């Protein structure tokens, strides 16, 4: 297991934003760069089960916020959380994943590679639980106060009825943070909560400007130029090969001279982390 730090409210690197919330975490276990906990952070959240549209919106919003030097916070869950973390990484930005378990039990296991990628690219994993603490359902609603509390605002992308996402939105409002929500069409089950939040006062969000205009200091920041995609070294050879055309596995294998098992593994991980996508006929291309 990688090295981690334990920080408490008396430490200078403890996030100032969390000192203002109720039920302040008595300690934080931090793996990665603890300095970014005091950066300008913004959370993007939503359901684990979501639409492709929702994933795309979360990813694009994360990318755009990173252009303003904003650090993206989410919960490492499948669905919207994954898309938010991935968007920050694709933009060359920083992202923080708040866990509901200890570092020895990262959940879901499917996102262990995403967690490693977050660390490789200057981000952080944060939990209030010791490394050996297992995954427990009761931990996740509790960790949501950290997701919202660390952030200047929270964007809810998609959430269906009885989604845990609504808990985070309520906590954000209670903590005095701005709550933003992406509107959905009438009758869309993944838009039930977002539309309800807007009805109750959340800021209707159609584009990045709807968020930026709510913060004077962000309006004064000169946006970074869209940065090149940060690709982990182990993926780079395949990613470079796919720059010219769409390819099937056998052609990729011949060009890289890797065995089929390794190629299958790398393609699977690259697809999961959003670097490539599979097309009909088992062709692969960059996203």
Mean pLDDT of the chain: 91
pLDDT band at 225 (very low <50, low <70, confident <90, very high): low
Task: State yes or no: pLDDT of 224 exceeds 80.
Answer: no
Which pLDDT belongs to residue 287? 75
**Res 187 pLDDT > 90:** no
Tokens 């906590």 belong to residue: 171
pLDDT in tens, 230-256: 678 888 899 989 987 899 999 999 999
Buried b / exposed e across 162-189, counting CB within 10 Å, b at 16+? ebbbbbbbebbbebebbbbbbebeeeee
Residue 226, pLDDT above cutoff 50: no
Residues 6+ apart with CB under 8 A from 186: none
- Model confidence at 14: pLDDT above 70: yes
Cα distance between residue 184 and residue 192, in whole Å: 8
What are the strands, taking DSSP E only, across the chain? 5-7, 28-32, 41-45, 71-74, 95-98, 124-127, 153-156, 178-181, 203-204, 247-248, 276-279, 283-286
Per-residue b or e along 99-130, where b marks 16 or more CB atoms closer than 10 Å to that residue's CB: bbbbbebbbeeebeebbebbeebbbbbbbbbe
Q: How confident is the model at residue 206, as a pLDDT?
A: 87
If you average pLDDT over residues 198-225, what whole number do you get? 89
pLDDT the model gives residue 4: 97
pLDDT band for position 264 (50/70/90)?
confident
CB 170 within 8 A of CB 147: no
pLDDT tens for residues 117-139? 999 999 999 999 999 999 999 99
Cα 77 to Cα 45: distance, rounded to the nearest angstrom: 9
Q: What domains does the chain contain, in order, with CATH numbers? A: 5-219 (3.40.50.450), 233-286 (1.10.10.10)
Question: In the beta sheet, which residues pair with residue 153?
Answer: 178
């Amino acid at each position: 297991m990688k090295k981690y730090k334990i920080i408490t409210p008396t430490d200078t690197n403890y996030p100032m934003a969390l000192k203002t919330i109720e039920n302040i975490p008595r300690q934080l276990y931090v793996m990665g760069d603890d300095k970014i906990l005091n950066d300008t952070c913004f959370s993007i959240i939503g359901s684990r089960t979501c639409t492709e549209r929702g994933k795309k919106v979360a990813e694009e919003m994360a990318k755009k916020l990173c252009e303003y030097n904003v650090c993206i916070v989410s919960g490492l869950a499948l669905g919207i959380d994954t898309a938010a973390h991935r968007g920050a990484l694709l933009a060359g930005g920083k992202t923080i994943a708040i866990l509901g378990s200890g570092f020895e039990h990262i959940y879901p296991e499917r996102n262990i590679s995403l967690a490693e990628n977050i660390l490789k690219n200057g981000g952080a994993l944060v939990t209030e639980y010791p490394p050996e603490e297992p995954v427990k359902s009761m931990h996740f609603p509790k960790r949501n106060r950290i997701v919202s509390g660390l952030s200047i605002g929270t964007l809810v992308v998609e959430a269906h009825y009885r989604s845990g996402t609504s808990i985070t939105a309520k906590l954000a409002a209670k903590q005095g943070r701005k709550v933003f929500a992406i509107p959905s069409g009438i009758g869309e089950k993944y838009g039930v909560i977002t539309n309800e939040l807007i009805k109750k006062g959340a800021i209707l969000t159609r584009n990045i400007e709807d968020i930026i205009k709510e913060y004077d200091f962000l309006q004064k920041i000169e946006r970074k130029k869209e940065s090149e995609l940060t690709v982990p070294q182990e993926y780079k050879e395949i990613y470079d090969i796919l720059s010219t055309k769409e390819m099937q596995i056998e052609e990729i294998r011949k060009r890289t001279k890797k065995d089929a098992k390794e190629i299958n593994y790398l393609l699977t991980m690259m697809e999961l982390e959003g670097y490539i996508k599979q097309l009909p006929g088992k062709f692969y291309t960059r996203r």
